[in-house]
């Protein structure tokens, strides 16, 4: 072997693999062996700052999952009140984060706690999944379970702009995690007109995906509000549709693309006739419908969704739950 082979520059992939191995070693020493960050820095020959950064990256990338199995008493009390007030089958209430931008992460972790039990149930074969930041965060915390017999189906189409929160990426990531088959709604969320929606939904691809959705053993999604924080509002509204006109029609948010009023009824607006996917009346046949949403801006739509009677399982945060219970 020549000296040149010893001195060749490391490829980018080599560096990435070396860094990943170092991160995992740091995580093992910290979480399993319970060594201090100073000890780990000495053992690995790096700075304490780098150890701190590597541990944070491990959590961010889902390489380490921290699971709290004992729920807080205040959360349990709110869960019971929610079940009684809205006839829910199950509720998961998580602490409200100090930083509002962490709300998706907290609720996603709570949803993962519920969904980990569902995917581990061998009797459940079909899982319908929505899209958005909360679904993405759920995947970071979902316990890996090999389910080659399962099928993961998108409950909605994809927005025209790609992001890691879209249906294609989320269904793909969950399918890989479970080693399950994936089925996509290969269409936009909304057709340009009600007539165009009729053409799209008459296609065989739509009939096949819809059939799977209607047979889903569990369907989970996040409700959207009317603000720019909503990915659907930012990226998926059809041409010519504005937030102002939807609000004027009484919309407080959407459930899987159907815009609803404060009492949970679909608003009278053409957009609800342009949805390429099952409407609320059809989704009533899918049980359970699991909604995971929270934050100050989501209080009206969470209230509306619960009033609609469609939701059987709710995952939210304490502050949102208290506000929704106050609304009744």
Residue 232 belongs to a domain: yes
Q: Per mean pLDDT, which range of 4-13, 56-65, 166-175, 319-328 is the poorest?
A: 4-13
Residues 317 and 271 in one domain: yes
Query: Residue 128 falls within a domain, yes or no?
Result: yes
In this structure, are 54 and 104 located in the same domain? no
Say how far apart CA 30 and CA 22 lie, in whole Å: 12
Looking at residue 190, which CATH number applies to its domain? 3.40.50.1360
Q: Which domain holds residue 259?
A: 73-327
Residue 160 has pLDDT above 60, yes or no: yes
* Domain tally, the chain: 2
pLDDT averaged over every residue in the chain? 89
pLDDT at 71: 61
One domain, residues 295 and 317: yes
On whether both 32 and 152 belong to a single domain, the answer is no
Confidence of residue 81 (pLDDT cuts 50, 70, 90): very high
Residue 190 lies in a domain: yes
State both tokens at 74: 């205040």
Neighbours of 229 (CB within 10 A): 14
Residue 241 has pLDDT above 70, yes or no: yes
Query: Quick one: 138 and 25 in the same domain?
Result: no
258 occurs within a structural domain: yes
pLDDT band of residue 195 (cuts 50, 70, 90) is very high
Question: With 70 as the cut, is the pLDDT of residue 1 above it?
Answer: no
Same domain assignment for residues 200 and 92: yes
pLDDT digits (tens, 9 = 90+) for 84-131: 999 999 999 999 988 899 999 999 999 999 999 999 999 999 999 999
Tokens of 323: 């506000």
Q: Are residues 54 and 142 in the same domain?
A: no
Beta strand spans in the chain (E): 90-94, 126-129, 151-154, 181-183, 218-221, 253-255, 258-260, 289-292, 313-317
The answer to whether residues 48 and 101 belong to one domain is no
Whether residue 66 is predicted with pLDDT greater than 80 in this model: the reply is: no
Q: Tell me the C-alpha distance between 238 and 275, whole Å.
A: 10
Question: Whole-angstrom Cα distance, residue 159 to residue 11?
Answer: 36
Quote the pLDDT of residue 61: 81
């Amino acid at each position: 072997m020549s000296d040149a082979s010893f001195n060749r520059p490391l490829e980018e992939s080599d560096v990435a693999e070396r860094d990943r191995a170092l991160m995992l070693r740091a995580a093992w020493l910290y979480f399993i062996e319970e060594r201090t960050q100073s000890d780990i820095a000495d053992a690995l020959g790096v700075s304490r700052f780098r150890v701190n950064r590597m541990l944070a990256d491990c959590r961010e990338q889902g390489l380490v999952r921290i699971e709290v199995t004992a729920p807080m008493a205040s959360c349990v009390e709110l869960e019971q009140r929610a079940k009684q007030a809205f006839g829910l089958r199950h509720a998961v209430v998580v602490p409200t984060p100090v930083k509002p931008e962490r709300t998706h992460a907290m609720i996603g972790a709570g949803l993962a706690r519920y969904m980990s039990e569902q995917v581990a149930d061998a009797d459940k074969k079909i899982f319908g999944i929505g899209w958005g930041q909360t679904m993405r965060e759920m995947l970071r915390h979902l316990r890996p379970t090999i389910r080659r017999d399962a099928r993961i189906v998108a409950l909605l189409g994809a927005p025209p702009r790609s992001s890691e929160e879209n249906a294609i990426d989320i269904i793909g990531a969950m399918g890989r995690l479970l080693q399950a088959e994936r089925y996509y709604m290969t269409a936009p969320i909304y057709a340009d007109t009600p007539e165009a929606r009729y053409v799209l939904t008459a296609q065989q691809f739509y009939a096949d995906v819809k059939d799977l959705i209607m047979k889903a053993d569990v369907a989970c999604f996040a409700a959207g509000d009317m603000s720019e924080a909503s990915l659907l509002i930012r990226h998926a509204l059809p041409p010519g549709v504005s937030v102002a006109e939807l609000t004027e029609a009484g919309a407080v948010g959407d459930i899987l693309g159907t815009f609803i009023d404060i009492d949970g009824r679909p608003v009278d607006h053409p957009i609800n006739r342009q949805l390429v996917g099952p409407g609320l009346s059809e989704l009533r046949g899918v049980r359970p419908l699991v909604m995971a949403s929270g934050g100050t801006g989501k209080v009206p739509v969470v209230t509306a969704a619960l009033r609609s009677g469609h939701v059987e399982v709710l995952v939210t945060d304490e502050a949102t739950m208290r506000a929704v219970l106050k609304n009744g």
